[in-house]
Amino acid sequence: MLLGNAAAQHPDSAALERLGRWIAEQTGATFGWLVDGGNGVGAQLVGAAPQDVGATADEMLGAGAPLKACILMNVEPSLDAADPPRALAALSGAEMVVAMTAFMRERRPSPTCCCPIAPFTETSGTFVNAEGRVQSMHGVVKPRGEARPAWKMLRVLGNLLGLPGFAFETSEEVRDEALGDVSTIAARLAAPPSQSPDAAPALVPTRGVLERIADVPIYAGRSDRAPRAGVAAHRRRAAAGRRPSRASSPPSAASSTARRCASARAGRRS
Amino acid sequence: MPARIDPSLAANVIRVAAGDPHTAPLGPMFGTLTIEALGGRNAAAASTREATPS
């Protein structure tokens, strides 16, 4: 039994998982996730989620106190957030928003300072796919203009803040530190024992009203921003007779991003 | 947006894709959907109220 990205994004995702695990257990099946995003499993492996401290994205973008500062790394809130209008409103109320992005033509809260990062084609790195397979790659071209790999920007930020654990020289060092012994990944990804069936809460259907469910189609959403903003997607939409939106416009060069950041540094609104 | 009947969905359920600039203004990915006429014969507005976790 595989649950997909719509189940993962649902507010009752935890309940759906418990039900799915229970059904799999009762039928002798194996339970797993096919999540959206090219590196969702890798993010889980390295603990890119609130642990003992920290807040979830929902909490950060909720109706709580306004954010003081926010760093967006390869995130387009107007499309990537589960509730884009709420996310944009929350970010617009922040004192400072820094967007690490490879694409300039995307809707973002204003004012935002943009730092040009290299897309995955221009940097080395590692993905972990849905079955836990570690896949490292090399950058096939050099980053354009002042663009830099995102991990290098985070390293410098850590250095400037005087934080320990940021003394990396290569992406391979980052990978080794983050993933540890790759031979144990399968065990680390193994599904935990199912909870008892009685613990699975009932999902109460709504009656008499229309209920929206949503998935994130491939090439459209969180799965990969490159095809979403890329020239091919732009041409496909144009061929289909749809007016290209700002978010679906072709990406500008990273050098253009650098120029915009230089303007921001000079005091003009980016 | 074009609409069509999907027999694979439960009754009263509408699947509206997320991650699309045309559907992003609807708000939450899951929840009650209300539809109201804008005045034009084929025009309609929709919005989503956030789903209440059960």
* Chain B residue with the nearest C-alpha to that of A249: B21
The interface residues of chain B toward chain A in range 20-39, judged by CB-CB distance below 8 A, are: 20-35
pLDDT for the residue B46 = 66
Q: How high is the mean pLDDT of chain A? A: 79
Query: What confidence score (pLDDT) does residue A247 get?
Result: 39
B35 vs A247, residue with greater confidence: B35
Per-residue pLDDT, A152: 94
Cβ–Cβ below 8 Å for B24 and A12: no
Interatomic CA distance for residues A95 and A91, integer angstroms: 9
User: How far apart are the C-alpha atoms of A125 and A118, rounded to whole Å?
Assistant: 11
Q: Hey, of A5, A9, A76, A213, which one would you mutate to test binding to chain B, going by the most B CBs within 10 A of its CB? A: A213
Share of chain A above pLDDT 70, in %: 72
Distance (Å, whole) CA A120 – CA A203: 40
Mean pLDDT of A221-237: 62
ipTM: 0.79
Q: Give residue-wise pLDDT tens across range A66-101.
A: 889 999 988 888 888 889 999 999 998 899 999 999
Using the predicted structure, report yes or no on whether residue A260 has a pLDDT greater than 50.
Answer: no
Q: Is B47 on the interface with A (CB under 8 A)?
A: no
H helix or E strand, kind and range, residue A213 = strand A210-213
Among A240, A242, A244, which residue's Cα sits nearest to residue A229? A244
Q: How many CB pairs under 8 A join A and B?
A: 115
Q: Give φ, ψ of A53 to 5 degrees.
A: -125, 165
Nearest-Cα residue of chain B relative to residue A248: B21
Q: Tell me the pLDDT tens digit for each residue of A18-62.
A: 888 888 888 999 888 887 777 888 888 888 888 888 888 888 888
What pLDDT was estimated at residue A244?
Answer: 44
Query: First-to-last CA distance in chain B?
Result: 30
Locate B20 and state its tokens.
């699309």
**pLDDT, tens digit (0-9, with 9 covering 90-100), for A164-183:** 999 999 999 999 999 999 88
User: Hey, are the CB atoms on A201 and B31 less than 8 Å from each other?
Assistant: no
**Chain centroid to CA A175:** 18
Across the interface, do B12 and A216 touch by the CB < 8 Å criterion?
A: no
**What is the pLDDT, as a whole number, of residue A220?**
56
pLDDT of the residue at A253? 41
- For A114-129, what is the mean pLDDT? 90
> A174 or B44, which is more confident?
A174
**Residue A8 has what pLDDT?**
86
Q: To 5 degrees, how large is the angle CA B7–CA A11–CA A100?
A: 110
For chain A, say whether B45 makes contact (Cβ under 8 Å).
no
